Amino acid sequence: MTANPVVLGVDSSTQSCKVEVRELATGRLLARAAAPHPEAYPPVSEQHPRAWVAAFVTAAREALARCADPVGVRAIAVAAQCHGLVLLDELGEPVRPAKLWNDTTGAGELARLAQWIGWDTWLHRIGSTPTAAFTIAKLAWIAEHEPAVLDRAAAVLLPHDFLTYWLTGEAVTDRSDASGTGYFDSVAAEWIPQYLDLAAGPRDWAALLPTVLEPTEPAGTVRSGALTELGLEGADIVVAPGGGDQHAAYLGLGLDDGDQYFGIGTSGVIATSSREPVYDPAGMVDGVCDLTGGYLPLVSTLNAARVGDIAARLLGTDLAGLADLALSAAGTVGPVLVPFLDGERKPDRPHARGALADITSHTTRAELARAFVEGPLLSLMTGRDRLADCGVRLDGAAVAVGGGAKSPATLALLADLLDDEVLVLDAEEATARGVCVQAAAVAGGADVAGLVDLAKAWRPDVRLRVGPRDHGRDLSALRGRWAELAASPVLDSAVPR
């Protein structure tokens, strides 16, 4: 039987690696699989890059084994968690565990860098106001605390770069992931070695940094060692440039400028796409690049779906029980949760803690459950307000993705807050789907316009529509109360962790 040509889309997230196998000609999903990553929590959040490779190999082999008929892989693309720092030695081996996006240990180093560069200068050079999540803060921390480790580094990569390197032997990246480092000019599309000199001392940064590829420029082909480990055959399996996880998800959903992307996973994201760069002097909006040559202005929070996990534990239930409780809450405003449980990224408050307010002797378990589900959504609504304040169009459909979007309470409460319909598309793994689109475009030799057309052709159908309820609550008062609590400096005055 002739092997069916397919592409592999790889989503290497904080919690796991997920791989999809899709038919090259149609985008039809043939199989998917996942393998876990080691747990990691802020403020010191690290994973070894070799654990990502092991999970990738396991998930890819399992996904390919689940295909009903023989398949032939023609292209692969990798998306991964952004902002992480991977340092490789001259042999291409990691010199230490990777610092992840939610590692906030570099907050002090970042503050010193901001004094030297200037927040406004930094913003207008890279498109974002960096936080401790950005790669440059982690690099500065390594230079300060582990200088010998940095001296051994022959390459400075991001997580998706490392997996692409493992596949091809080529040190490359893309605009979307590079624009979250703190040392990449998102408009000129070039590295800024002067900022790296300030962060980690003068070095030959050009030799250490990956080449930034265009959206449909091939990264290379899969090397023989990776072919063996993945159980693949063929010397010409092309590898696409890949990108950041949220950026790939936006592409995979086939969204347009003005559509509202609500990502509710380990982190929370509100984003849309734009053809022009966006600059936010308040520092809430990151004006990062997308996977199609444009921009993806977004607000990304640190505390999202994991807040629900904590709530379920505290209330003695599971996630389904938490959703049922939250939906059964009466039409009252409070209590209110500010979910800065592990510090927060947007706003930039790495040492903050959460607060649960307005509890009375009449407070019920249902109201507590609703507060825990609603808190991360209120953070995202504040981010949405800031995007609008920056002149970003938000007149398209509201689409919810991520593990948190599986909760009926999350969808209902988000629709209430928006006073509009929320859509869930038929895309179980939007990020993996997005890099499948990219891989297929690269395999077919498409240009950027062809990539966009393919994403629209493969756009998933609407699986669920959730409209706002007749809830009887004063949501304006709720949002005002949340904003008042979230602005309190008391949240930053807790005993250091």
Asked if 245 is an active-site residue, the reply is yes
One of 177, 245, 280, 290 is an active-site residue; which one?
245
Distance CA 188, CA 173 (A): 15
Residues contacting 175, CB < 8 A, separation 6+: 184, 186, 189, 212, 215, 243, 289, 290, 291, 293
Distance CA 136, CA 107 (A): 10
Q: Over the chain, what HEC string results?
A: CCCEEEEEEEEECCCEEEEEEEECCCCCEEEEEEEECCCCCCCCCEECHHHHHHHHHHHHHHHHHCCCCCEEEEEEEEEECCCCEEEECCCCCECCCEECCCCCCCHHHHHHHHHHHCHHHHHHHHCCCCCCCCHHHHHHHHHHHCHHHHHCCCEEECHHHHHHHHHHCCCEEEHHHHCCCCCEECCCCEECHHHHHHHHCCCCHHHHCCEEECCCCCCEECCHHHHHHHCCCCCCCEECCCEEHHHHHHHHCCCCCCCEEEEECCCEEEECCECCCCCCCCCCCEEEECCCCCEEEEEEECCCHHHHHHHHHHCCCCHHHHHHHHHCCCCCCCCEEECCECEECCCCECCCCCEEECCCCCCCHHHHHHHHHHHHHHHHHHHHHHHHHCCCCCCCCEEEECHHHHCHHHHHHHHHHHCCCEEEECCCCHHHHHHHHHHHHHHCCCCHHHHHHHHHHCCCCEEEEECCCCCCCCHHHHHHHHHHHHCCHHHHCCCCC
Catalytic positions, please? 245
